[in-house]
Amino acid sequence: MTATTKTIYPYQQEYLVEGEDNMLAFGAALARNLPDHKGCVITLQGDLGAGKTTLVRGLLQSLGHQGVVKSPTYTLVEPYYLNGRDIYHFDLYRLGEPDELEYIGFRDYFSSTSVCLLEWPERGENYLPPADIQLIISISDTSRKINIKSSFIININGL
Ligand code: ADP
Ligand code: MG
């Protein structure tokens, strides 16, 4: 018998986020919802230019990161250490085959305390642990629609 695991997301919400500044604020609001002393896997889906990296930048800067947030398109992952926690920003856009993830020691990044943010999680399908927070971003003219599903309640204030 095969056991199937299906992630159930009790929390789901949709937001309309207008402009880059509000996207940064959304990332910052999300950062305030990260569970203390506990790992968290966040996936970000959406076309090129949807605003995934912008949201991640808002999250990282709100936790004290100064300077640019590089898109880890070629390196696949960019590590941060902020507020006493390890945060890993992945961009799997250029991943050829999902099993290439094994070469970069992918599993080691997903610890019980690290926060992993993944752009293009579709490229690593079946190799990734289930997301605690799933963000799907779609473009509509000058704004973005964010569909958020989470295994716990998220409180996005001030948008
Ligand atoms: P991705 O990582 O999904 O490819 P980026 O974060 O690089 O996308 O953003 C692409 C562009 O979209 C940037 O010019 C950014 O300013 C813009 N952008 C991001 N969020 C929003 C938003 N909520 N509304 C309008 N433009 C946005
Ligand atoms: Mg990006």
pLDDT at 3: 52
| Ligand approaching nearest to the C-alpha of 23 | 1
pLDDT at 134: 98
Query: How many A from CA of 158 to the centre of ligand 2?
Result: 24
pLDDT digits (tens, 9 = 90+) for 1-35: 445 556 789 999 999 999 999 999 999 999 999 99
User: Ligand 1: which residue has its CA nearest to atom 19?
Assistant: 51
pLDDT at 1: 45
Q: Mean pLDDT lowest for which of 16-20, 49-53, 96-100, 143-147?
A: 96-100
Using a pLDDT cut of 70, give the percent of the chain over it.
95
CATH top-level class for 13-150? Answer: alpha beta
Using a pLDDT cut of 90, give the percent of the chain over it.
81
Provide the greatest CA pair distance for the chain.
51
Query: How many A from CA of 37 to the centre of ligand 1?
Result: 30
pLDDT at 4: 54
Indicate the pLDDT class of residue 73, thresholds 50, 70 and 90: confident
Please state, as a whole number, how many other Cβ atoms lie within 10 Å of the Cβ of residue 2: 3
Burial call 117-155: b when 16+ CB within 10 Å, e when fewer: bbbbbebbeebbeebbbbbebeeeeebbebebbbbeebe
Q: Who's near 16: CB < 8 A, 6+ residues apart?
A: 140, 143, 144, 145, 146
pTM (2 decimals)?
0.94
Q: 104 vs 76, 92, 107, CA distance in Å?
A: 9, 12, 9
pLDDT digits (tens, 9 = 90+) for 106-125: 999 999 999 999 999 999 98
Q: Among 54, 57, 140, 156, which residue has the most ligand 1 atoms within 8 Å of its CB, making it the best to mutate?
A: 54
Structure tokens at 100: 């290439």
Mapping DSSP to helix (H, G, I), strand (E, B) and coil, where does residue 6 land? coil
Phi, psi of 98 (to 5 degrees): -55, -30
Which residue(s) pair with 15 in the sheet? 146
Residue 45 in contact with ligand 1 by CB distance below 6 A: no
pLDDT digits (tens, 9 = 90+) for 82-107: 999 999 999 999 998 888 998 888 99
pLDDT at 66 over 90: yes
pLDDT at 64 over 80: yes
pLDDT at 158: 61
Residue 133 in contact with ligand 1 by CB distance below 6 A: no
